[in-house]
Amino acid sequence: MTDHSAQHGSEARVLSCRGIERSFGGLKALKGVSLHVNSGEIFGLVGPNGSGKTTMVNVMTGFYPPDAGQIELFGEDVTRVSPHRIAERGVARTFQNLALFKGMSVLDNILLGRHVHMRPSALASLFYWVWAQREELAHRRVAEEIIEFMQLEDIRDEPVDVIPIGLQKRVELARALVSEPRFLILDEPMAGMNQEEKEYIARFILDARDERNVSILIIEHHMDVVTAICDRVVVLSYGEIIAQGEPRKAIADPAVVKAYLGERAAQRHIGVAA
Ligand code: ADP
Ligand code: MG
């Protein structure tokens, strides 16, 4: 595997989180997590359900301010910056639970990903701008390019609600890419996909990094995917880092094996199929 991690020291860091803490009521979801993502890297954030992965992403994208700790993006402090301002700095994300606009077509959903590049006046009328004259063509060109890149031509005019879940996840990824991010955060982009769809998405993620210069943080449960595409991983359990580094090595760490076995045992206990 090529080493895509930073050759130039800390200025090539896309993201740097130090000592992140976050509680919900009495529950400590993050207990002092420090991690960084290097420029050009595909970084995996893994761990059993409830270990704090989505919370970590919500903190780094401004959705939840941390109780303690510091976040830097592209070398600048963004610890209490709003999600909108973080998006403007070139960060795009997809959500664990699909967040597409039902009733709108695939193309229009993807076009909405351009909103970070709109002028404030256009932003005020989010839905009007699609038809607004001057900017539409430029936005459309980028959208068309992404639709081709992600092989969505055949369904571009379909309402998003009628296409299968695996394709909806692909549309969400397209909407994130169309904002032309420097840093892309994907929260379980392959959930609900079959093997073939997973391989497609893995290929798109690698191509996005290699051809579009995007650094990527991915939360992913499929360990075959993690070991195939990630340069480095951090493994969380109960809001703490229990292993990190080269994916194969980190995942085989006894602490990680134990954390996942615990999850399976818990699922058996409550009658959930693992
Ligand atoms: P993961 O993404 O690793 O499955 P989460 O970050 O979603 O884990 O959740 C970590 C812990 O924080 C869980 O115990 C979860 O129930 C709790 N949690 C997450 N978000 C909230 C919230 N908005 N309110 C209350 N508890 C939350
Ligand atoms: Mg999650």
Mean predicted lDDT score pLDDT of the chain: 87
**What average pLDDT score do residues 95-109 get?**
87
Ligand 1 neighbour 66 (Cβ under 6 A)? no
Whether 44 is in the pocket of ligand 1, judged by its Cβ within 6 Å, is: no
Q: In the chain, how long is the greatest CA-to-CA distance?
A: 59
Structural domains in the chain, CATH included, are 1-90+181-274 (3.40.50.300), 99-180 (3.40.50.300)
User: Are residues 83 and 33 in contact, defined by beta-carbon separation less than 8 angstroms?
Assistant: no
Residue 271, by phi and psi: left (phi above 0), alpha (psi -120 to 50) or beta?
left
pLDDT, residue 171, reads 93
With bands split at pLDDT 50, 70 and 90, how would you rate the model's confidence at 9?
Answer: very low
pTM of the model: 0.87
pLDDT computed for residue 1 by the predictor: 43
Q: For residue range 30-62, list pLDDT tens digits in order.
A: 999 999 999 999 999 999 999 999 999 999 999
**Cβ of residue 170 lying under 6 Å from some atom of ligand 1:** no
pLDDT, tens digit (0-9, with 9 covering 90-100), for 135-165: 677 778 889 999 999 999 999 999 999 998 8
pLDDT digits over 226-245, tens only? 999 999 999 999 999 999 99
Atom of ligand 1 nearest to the CA of 51: 3
Identify the nearest ligand to the CA of 95 by its number: 2
- Please, how many CA atoms are within 13 Å of residue 56, restricted to the half-sphere of its CB? 35
More confident: 121 or 93: 93
258-271 CB burial, b ≥16 within 10 A, e <16:
ebbeebeeeeeeee
